[in-house]
Amino acid sequence: MIKQIAISGLGWLGLPLARRLMELGYVVRGSVTQAEKAATFREKGYDTYVLHAMESGLVGSPSEFLNGIDCYVIMIPPGLRNHSGVDYVSKMNYLLQATLKQEIPQIIFISSTSVYGSAQGMVTEKTPPKPDSEAGKQLLEVEQLWFQAPIESTIVRFGGLLGGSRQPVRYLAGRTNLNNGAAPVNLIHRKDCLNILTQIIQEGLFGHIINAVHPDHPSKSEYYRAKARALQLTPPQYSEENPGWVNKQVDSVVLDTLMNYTFQESI
């Protein structure tokens, strides 16, 4: 039975998850990468540690942070935008070894739908991923690290995240000649992210891969232009599409068959 939970990454999703789990009676620890932020969170009542996964090893005290933990939720993004050259696999391998030393029975690793290639068409958890981005390739390799380890692991592949102040159209408003306007959106609201993660923990749903994406998939052009108008922003403009291009649509079998999950928030 899960009683004590650790969360690495008290950010946009990790902090509200910690808050919810504490309200449900779980004992929760969190980690961040900076001592100043850890001190701030401790002042607010969160049991917070410093743990920074680097290519040279782990900074902080993983043994102290992970001691006695029943379930470890890992929300550490790859940080591979703009061809940064980061070796995310090495970072996560150090974290895996620390986790194994503490004999933590169950983990949830937060991954992304970027493990599927942009031209794979309609995909579910049963579809072998064929990533075409560096982040996707490294995420897939890290997923395999956890699944091959002697630990019960569930991989949650979130789609594009929205909710709170996070609305992707704000980064697209007013832009012109954008590509892939006919491609379907693969999004999920933060409230549904929290619901799905909480259900996994409460029901002990480990040993699975879960595509966590809202089932509605309007085209990017349709969706972002409508969202821009709703927010009184200048709608983005998309270029003509190649009619033979195959776009990625991510759906989930597991949310229906295993979790019987009903989405609470529209996109």
The number of residues in the chain equals: 267
pLDDT value for 84:
62
Within-domain flag for 206: yes
CA distances from 235 to 18, 78, 146 (A): 36, 30, 41
Check which CATH number belongs to the domain holding 111 and give it. 3.40.50.720
The pair of structure tokens assigned to 144 is 């395999």
Residue 238 is assigned to a structural domain of this protein: no
Is the confidence at residue 82, as pLDDT, over 70? no
Determine, yes or no, domain membership for 243.
Answer: no
The predicted-structure confidence for 4-25, as pLDDT tens digits, reads as follows: 999 999 999 999 999 999 999 9
β 187-189/152-158 pair status: unpaired
Q: Which domain holds residue 81?
A: 4-164+186-216+249-257
Q: Is residue 108 part of a domain?
A: yes
* CB-CB contact of 212 with 252 (8 Å): yes
**pLDDT average, residue stretch 23-32:** 98
**Do the domain assignments include residue 38?**
yes
Q: Is the pLDDT of residue 83 over 60?
A: no
Instruction: Report how many domains make up the chain.
Output: 1
Share of the chain above pLDDT 70, in %: 97
- Quick check: 91 pLDDT over 70? yes
Task: Establish if 172 belongs to a structural domain.
Answer: no
- What's the pLDDT at 197? 98
Residue 102's pLDDT is 96
As a whole number, mean pLDDT of residues 177-187 equals 93
Check whether 202 has a pLDDT greater than 60.
yes
Question: Would 232 be classed as within a structural domain?
Answer: no
Share of residues in the chain with pLDDT > 90 (%) = 91
| Residue 224 belongs to a domain | no
SS3 state of residue 149 = coil
pLDDT band with cut points at 50, 70 and 90 for residue 79:
confident
Mean pLDDT within 188-202: 98
Place of tokens 């997923």: 143
Work out the pLDDT band at 165, boundaries 50, 70, 90. confident
Residue 85 predicted with pLDDT over 90:
no
